[in-house]
Amino acid sequence: MEIVFLLVPLILLALGFPIYIIFLAASAVALTLVVRVPATVMVQTMFGSLDVFPLIAVPFFIFFGEIIARGGISKRLINWFLSLFGGLPGSLALATLGATEVFSAMSGASSAATAAIGRTMYPALLAGGYRQWFAAGLMTSVGSIDVVIPPSIAMILYGASAQESVALLYLAGFVPGILIGAFLALYIVFHALRNRVPVTSGFQWPTFLRSTRQVLWSLGAPLLILGGIYSGIFTPTEAAGMAVVYAMVVSVALHRDLKVKDIWQIAANSAILTAQIMVIVAASGVFSWLLTVSGIPQAIIAWINSLAVPPWAVMLMINLFLLLVGALIDPTSAILVLTPLLLPIARAIGFDPIHFGIIMAVNLAIGMYTPPFGLNIFVMQALFGLPVRRIVPGIVPFFLINVGALMLITYIPEISLFLVRIRQ
């Protein structure tokens, strides 16, 4: 029975089929050969997977992300961080890190952040004295933090799959996101000092105040979203809707980066992307349901208990598995399929489901730039024509830093749960 659920997806993945086709085909084979239920269950489960209230926030956040990606927010963020870090060792790379992480968090799309910030900052990093491998590795890796920090679409999907609070998941992602960013910043400073990279002009109050005025309305979006959620004014879904309205007002009326007619095209693009995600949600819902009713999670738990493996070793194996999966498929698909499979195991060995959600997110964030199929690698190839052999060496130190942070986040629960327990 387990062979069907494992072998069919692997064969189809190797043949290059779209991920939703893989889930549907594997489910059809399992319904035919393994699970004796009416075929109509497949259609009912697909629609049932979409009938989940937190998923309403997904199209709103996608629309919000598309609006800010088309506007001039990326340039405003770059200028603001450059004025903030001016004169520090690695100031140009630190500004790239800050602008990419903030932009990816607001847009909810790591690839969009890599493209929007990379177009400006990758050539600037090369001109500023950084080696190509470092600049390529930095641009490829740092945007992946959007999977972890709010407002994260991945967290909405995990919350829907695990039936956990999206607001608490957002709260739990704060400290891990800051921790990862701090580790990356330390490495950037170390690299700049070691290689004697020239610094940008020093900090100047007039420049900082001018760039702050220009970026202020842009930075208001995450404050509106998170402030509304944690003050109790909005649910995450309502906050997503308010964010769309705010982004349209700022981009069209205040910044004037977009025209009213542009919003229609952005809405159409958002609808297409939303449909792509929802198809994956529906297809993975069938596959996950079949895994559950077949008793595979329970069988895995029983097998682990028979091995008498300590919890830390079990979680280490789960981390290694998630790192491998993240390098092969996108975070959306991985979260939807693996949450019903892995969450019962995490619960059985004493891990909090909110904490486990952050662990999954960090693993899959690393997968966004891990060969062979890390999406951000393809973005850098498309933007600058870089071969993989020139991108991968620069990725390695960022990969190792993120894995080190992952180990801390995994085995020190308070990093993720400190703010959650205060809130509760």
pLDDT digits over 46-61, tens only? 888 888 888 888 999 8
Distance CA 314, CA 351 (A): 11
Average pLDDT over residues 415-423: 91
- Helix 296-307 / helix 331-348 crossing angle, nearest 10 deg: 50
Contact 238, 64 (CB under 8 A): no
Chain length of the chain: 424
The per-residue pLDDT for 350 is 94
Average pLDDT over residues 309-321: 93
pLDDT of 346 over the 90 cut: yes
pLDDT of 359 over the 60 cut: yes
The per-residue pLDDT for 244 is 92
Q: Which of 42-46, 143-147, 176-180 has the lowest mean pLDDT?
A: 143-147
Categorize the per-residue pLDDT at 108 as very low, low, confident or very high, splitting at 50, 70 and 90: low
Q: Read off the amino acid at residue 266.
A: I
Contacts of residue 160, Cβ cutoff 8 Å, sequence gap at least 6: 52, 54, 55
The per-residue pLDDT for 201 is 79
Distance CA 129, CA 122 (A): 11
Percentage of the chain exceeding pLDDT 70: 98
25 versus 307: which is more confidently predicted? 25
DSSP state of 385: -
pLDDT of 388 over the 60 cut: yes
Per-residue model confidence as pLDDT tens digits over 270-283: 999 899 889 999 99
Categorize the per-residue pLDDT at 4 as very low, low, confident or very high, splitting at 50, 70 and 90: low
Average pLDDT over residues 230-252: 90
Residue 321 phi/psi, 5° resolution? -65, -45
Categorize the per-residue pLDDT at 351 as very low, low, confident or very high, splitting at 50, 70 and 90: very high
- For the chain, what is the mean pLDDT? 88
The per-residue pLDDT for 27 is 85
User: Residue 408: how many CB atoms within 10 A of its CB?
Assistant: 13
143 versus 64: which is more confidently predicted? 64
Q: What is the 3-state secondary structure (H, E, C) of 178-227?
A: HHHHHHHHHHHHHHHHHCCCCCCCCCCHHHHHHHHHHHHHHHHHHHHHHH
Contact 191, 90 (CB under 8 A): yes
Distances (CA, A) of 422 to 172, 177, 317, 416: 11, 18, 30, 12
Average pLDDT over residues 144-163: 87
As given in the structure block, the two tokens for residue 424 are 């509760």
Categorize the per-residue pLDDT at 153 as very low, low, confident or very high, splitting at 50, 70 and 90: confident
The per-residue pLDDT for 395 is 95
**CA dihedral (254, 259, 260, 265) positive or negative:** negative
Most confident of 18-32, 173-187, 247-261, 326-340: 173-187
Distance CA 140, CA 117 (A): 11
Residue 201 phi/psi, 5° resolution? -60, 150
Average pLDDT over residues 314-326: 93
